[in-house]
Amino acid sequence: MQVNGVPYRTVWMEGRTVRMINQQLIPHRFELSSLENHLQTAEAIRSMLVRGAGAIGASAGYGMAQVVLEAPDDDRFMTYIESGREALRRTRPTAQDLFYAIERVYAAALKGATAAQARLLAVEAAEALADENAAAGEAIGRHGAELISDGARVLTHCNAGWLAFVDWGSALAPIYMAARQGKRVSVWVDETRPRCQGASLTAWELNGEGIEHTIIADNAAGFLMHRGEVDLVIVGADRIARNGDAANKIGTYEKAVCAAANQVPFYVAAPMSTIDLACASGDDIPIEERSQDEVLYVVGRDDRGELTRVRMSHQGAQARNPAFDVTPAHLIKAIITQQGVHKPTELPCALV
């Protein structure tokens, strides 16, 4: 990702410190955050300072490496590691990449014959996982770009781009790759209430890439599909069940229903690490419920240029805030992974 001509990854590690782009401040400010220990990294995941399936996974992997680096050189070593592992697992329940990353780094550390070797193996595993996530995004971009014709009008939901991965992204990667191939692409950007990741993050990314885009209210997507102004839909995923059902940001299911009603191809883009073979169907995917304040308030920059929070409803109003929904496999035309484009019911079984 290029920001003012400088290349960045979404998250990386320097010594024992995890460094990441503070996504809570975009598009109004670009700042980097430093997390000095695994509890700070866990809180960054929980509070959505970092968000997006791939970026959550990489952050959790680095957080697990921090746990091993912090563990004392005595009989408390394994107790500390188990405690830190559970603290990271409790941050967010839906994104499969988080659990995949934690367990992969944890398993690598257990192979160490000594504490020093365990630390080395944990850091190596976390770095390898982040590199693979970036490479997967680029491969998804190559495979997905073949589905995008010159002049295509693509609709996407939430943010599944650079910021949601270590690099490249999932749903936006085919768009970036198609644009770099010289294709003319325009993007309908769902605002994605309640946290508005489309309006704040996706639009910011597309602007930086010089790709034509228009932000729309979430409820406008069906209207545009009915008018014939959407050629295809590409979304990301936080967890994909064995049968091809896919959990993604709340509102995705509605887009899939509208796409089916209007014969618009609906694609899901995600790395193999997002597939949870232990989940038989979408009914088994845990759905995170977040604070009602995310629905009742919005945060933005006022006319004086200051970030402020504004209440949207009457005092005392109650809200419900499921963060994800599940799109059944029969509404998904194909799932784009780093291994290629697959029918939802014919997903490869081997994880990366």
CA 344 – CA 270 distance, rounded (Å): 12
Domain termination residue (choose one: 101, 123, 138): 138
One domain for residues 173 and 217: yes
One domain for residues 69 and 183: no
Domain termination residue (choose one: 138, 173, 193): 138
- In this prediction, residues 274-284 reach a mean pLDDT of 96
Contact at 8 Å (CB) between 265 and 332?
no
One domain for residues 126 and 146: no
| Res 138: pLDDT | 98
- In this prediction, residues 105-134 reach a mean pLDDT of 97
Amino acid identity at 67:
V
Domain termination residue (choose one: 138, 169, 194): 138
CA 174 – CA 187 distance, rounded (Å): 12
One domain for residues 176 and 236: yes
One domain for residues 31 and 122: yes
Which residue would you say has higher pLDDT here, 63 or 2?
A: 63
Whether 213 is covered by a domain: the verdict is yes
Q: What is the pLDDT of residues 222-243, one digit of tens each?
A: 999 999 999 999 999 999 999 9
Whether 352 is covered by a domain: the verdict is no
Q: To the nearest 10°, report the CA torsion of 274, 346, 136, 125.
A: 50
| Res 352: pLDDT | 38
By annotation, the residues acting in catalysis are 238
Q: To the nearest 10°, report the CA torsion of 194, 199, 202, 204.
A: -140
pLDDT over 70 percentage in the chain: 99
- In this prediction, residues 263-277 reach a mean pLDDT of 97
Q: Is this prediction's pTM over 0.85? A: yes
CA 313 – CA 335 distance, rounded (Å): 38
- SS3 call for 98: helix
Domain count, the chain: 2
One domain for residues 300 and 153: yes
Q: Which long-range contacts (CB under 8 A, 24 or more apart) does 38-42 make?
A: 38/63, 38/64, 38/66, 38/67, 38/70, 38/84, 38/87, 38/88, 39/87, 41/66, 41/88, 42/87, 42/88, 42/90, 42/91
332 confidence band (pLDDT: 50, 70, 90):
very high
Q: What is the pLDDT of residues 192-223, one digit of tens each?
A: 999 999 999 999 999 999 999 999 999 999 99
| Res 351: pLDDT | 45
Mean pLDDT of the chain: 96
pLDDT for residue 350 is more than 80: no
One domain for residues 193 and 82: no
One domain for residues 174 and 314: yes
Whether 298 is covered by a domain: the verdict is yes
One domain for residues 40 and 114: yes
- In this prediction, residues 51-56 reach a mean pLDDT of 97
Helix locations, the chain, DSSP H: 38-46, 53-70, 77-89, 96-110, 115-145, 173-180, 197, 203-209, 221-226, 252-261, 293-296
One domain for residues 201 and 248: yes
One domain for residues 169 and 84: no
Residue whose entry in the numeric block shows the structure tokens 């997006």: 52
CA 167 – CA 342 distance, rounded (Å): 22
Structure tokens at 203: 């639009």
Which domain does 23 fall in, by range?
2-138
One domain for residues 183 and 265: yes
CA 83 – CA 234 distance, rounded (Å): 38
Whether 109 is covered by a domain: the verdict is yes
4 confidence band (pLDDT: 50, 70, 90):
confident
Find the helix or strand (DSSP H, E) in which 327 lies: strand 324-327
For the domain that residue 156 is a member of, what is the CATH number? 3.40.50.10470
Check residue 228 and give left, alpha or beta (phi > 0: left; psi -120 to 50: alpha): left
Residue whose entry in the numeric block shows the structure tokens 């949870």: 276
Whether 351 is covered by a domain: the verdict is no
**Lowest pLDDT segment from 90-99, 174-183, 295-304:** 295-304
pLDDT for residue 315 is more than 90: yes
Q: What is the DSSP string of 52-87?
A: SHHHHHHHHHHHHHHHHHHS-SSTTHHHHHHHHHHH
CA 256 – CA 93 distance, rounded (Å): 23
